[in-house]
Structure 1
């Protein structure tokens, strides 16, 4: 039942943009595979083979550490509310940090957020759909304000202190590169 495409088309792009949650998977050469749920207004499809998603400060920083060793990334969406569909975008990504040359241009696609930590720029080489018939129904009740409130309360200096304390290495002890931006 799976169908594969070399890029996003109007149908797959529309489905992805309509979802309230997506999942991102990365892995370094060894150690743990990371799979993270993402939400909010944090993803943009910029073209048939390019998407970006903005990562907000959180408890871990696995994706940044993994991409330093291995650029593979998969992004997945599931149709929880209506259409039974699973959509995956496969490709290679790079981390763009707050101080990088192209940060301002990429970050301009999103509303300002004090907790913005990286933007991941994914070059998509395969888009795949599958049926999603076993994915249960869930109703979206809204955006959680908890992370926004926490970030605002910390402020920029507090966020950078948090990066220094909690985001320098992955759970496997691999460097994330954040130290250059603290």
Structure 2
């Protein structure tokens, strides 16, 4: 049976920060496509306090999460156990996109491991924290993180990354605005 929590307990914190993969779901306010993105690199997720979490948004194929958060703020993050005791934790809340120009960015970036290709930090104020059994989630063995995303971002110089973001990160697949032109400049330092 699932349980609802007022805040992230020590047990929940330990569980979510030890998972090698998590899933982020968002959707536009009306119409459009629901988006679910798998996220790797455990050091890209941080618990900030009892009801606030954040993750490092790395450059990639799309920009749905940023567009959807700017459209309506709704976001859900899900963690599930692929080893050990079965468990699923969902964090429902309101997201904020923190870009390198935001005063909060410098304070937050140190909470994450070093990664090139940082677009933003997504901060989530959780209004519902739940866990459930996860009895049907299969056992799977974690071998290691794929390094391809970091390698891909690390090969691009500032101009190439700026051009990529201008072409691919200005709007969602449904045409919602995402990164503004002044937000397409890459972060000069790794996280």
Instruction: Name the CA distance, whole Å, in 2 between partners of 1:34 and 1:164.
Output: 21
CA RMSD of aligned residues (A): 1.1
The 4+ residue runs of structure 1 with deviation greater than 3 A are none
Q: Does 1:163 align with 2:165?
A: yes
Which segment drifts farther, 97-106 or 127-136?
97-106
Which secondary structure state, in structure 2, belongs to the residue aligned with residue 24 of structure 1? strand
Question: After the TM superposition, which residues 41-60 of structure 1 pair with which residues of structure 2 at under 5 Å, given as runs?
Answer: 41-60=43-62
State the SS of the aligned residue for 1:161: helix
Q: Who is 1:63 aligned against?
A: 65
TM-score, length-scaled by structure 1: 0.96
Partner of 2:105: 103
Which residue among 85, 88, 91 is the counterpart of 1:86? 88
Alignment of 1:103-122 (within 5 A): 103-122=105-124
**In the alignment, is the contact (CA less than 8 A) between 1:73 and 1:90 conserved in 2?**
yes
Structure 2 regions of 5+ residues with no counterpart?
A: 185-191
Aligned length in residues = 182
CA 1:122–1:62: 2 relative to 1, 3 Å: same
SS at structure 1 position matched to 2:138: coil
Query: Alpha-carbon deviation of 1:58?
Result: 0.3
Other-structure match for 1:7: 7
Contact 2:71–2:176 (8 Å) recurs in 1: no
